[in-house]
Amino acid sequence: MANQGEVPLEWVLECAVRFGILLQELESAQQAATGHDSLPVSYIRPVDVLHTRRPGRPHKQPNIAILQAAMSSGHHIPLSKLSHALGIHQHTLHYYMQKFGIDYQHTPISNSELDTLIQQFRASHPQSGLLSCPNALWHMDGHHKLVH
């Protein structure tokens, strides 16, 4: 039992449910009277399907705003996951990114900074990547003694 001055939780929940139903009925009545929705909700399509009336599948063009937002710094969305989420092939995604001039970078490092890092690594590890003879990396002589 509720104390003096407290509102029972069951009553609040029942009021919320009935208020929601009332709002839905008022919205549908207004839509029937005016012929359109009154809610200021808009839906952005991530991919536009362009029917060309020619044989084959229709063209799919991703929304440029969504691509720019997905490729902005800090998101790090892999292109494979983005193309899967948009329902388009990776090649289509690459094509439209090049067409719209959207650059995809994993890190904020520039090409000149990367060149400097590589030069520093090669200076500190001069023998890295060098082999004693051709095929030394994958050729194994371990079982040749078993061959007669």
Q: Which residue has the higher pLDDT, 134 or 99?
A: 99
Q: What is the dihedral of CA 66, 67, 73, 74, to 10 degrees?
A: 60
Ranges of each domain in the chain:
47-100
pLDDT in tens, 27-75: 888 878 877 665 666 667 788 888 888 898 888 889 888 888 888 767 7
Cβ-based neighbours of 85, under 8 Å, separated by 6 or more? 46
Give percent of the chain above pLDDT 90. 16
The closest of 101, 63, 98 to 82, measured between CA atoms, is 63
Q: Calculate the average pLDDT of the chain.
A: 80
Q: State the pTM of this model.
A: 0.47
